[in-house]
Structure 1
């Protein structure tokens, strides 16, 4: 499972010109699910994300997590994070989980994030989404549950 984590001042997602989710200060999470991903991958990512110290403290040092600042989280499913681009110029998405596997795992990921008590919103799985954000910093981090060791 891959995540692109962006510290944002605000973010929103629209589907068919209607707002599906929006947040203020917090994290925008782009989540890619591989065909081999399991609940343990989601659990590991959730714990790393919720405890990732990428928000400034009183001295401006990155010492606070999204939980520490009572931030908000916007989760967006993004199968293109699983792209294989090694051969040719057109990326292959064959290793991205099929919806019957990806949807329940994405829902599980969101449930685990929301257990933090933080405002958690999301886009609509599989929809053509328009994501807007105001990246703060900018701070952007990429995580892959397959490289956790």
Structure 2
């Protein structure tokens, strides 16, 4: 991680009974600036299973409401993505994360996190053989409230 600027003000991380299993994970973050302000993320009983996913997104502006994602053998690339996240509330309780052979490459990522409260309950994240490349990504999410209950 070189030239990484993490700006997190008034961040409340609540993580209870969290089991992180990360094997052969390669995190490469260059020139990353994380800024997240007042974002509210509520995820309860969410089961994320991503196998052999390669995501590429170029110049994407994403607005998603009531979305059910099931991704198997997906190929996604994200370049020059503009995500803004303000008013973020993250709560993580009983989170079970499995990451095997994950290759994270983040170059020139701009993320701001202020007043962040993470609330995630009973989340099971499974990522196997993932290759995520994000270049010149600016994540900005304003007044986004993510509520995912019992999503598989």
Q: TM-score range by the shorter chain?
A: under 0.3
TM-score by length of 2: 0.25
Q: Which one has a larger percent helix, Structure 1 or Structure 2?
A: 1
TM-score by length of 1: 0.25
Q: Which one has a larger percent strand, Structure 1 or Structure 2?
A: 2
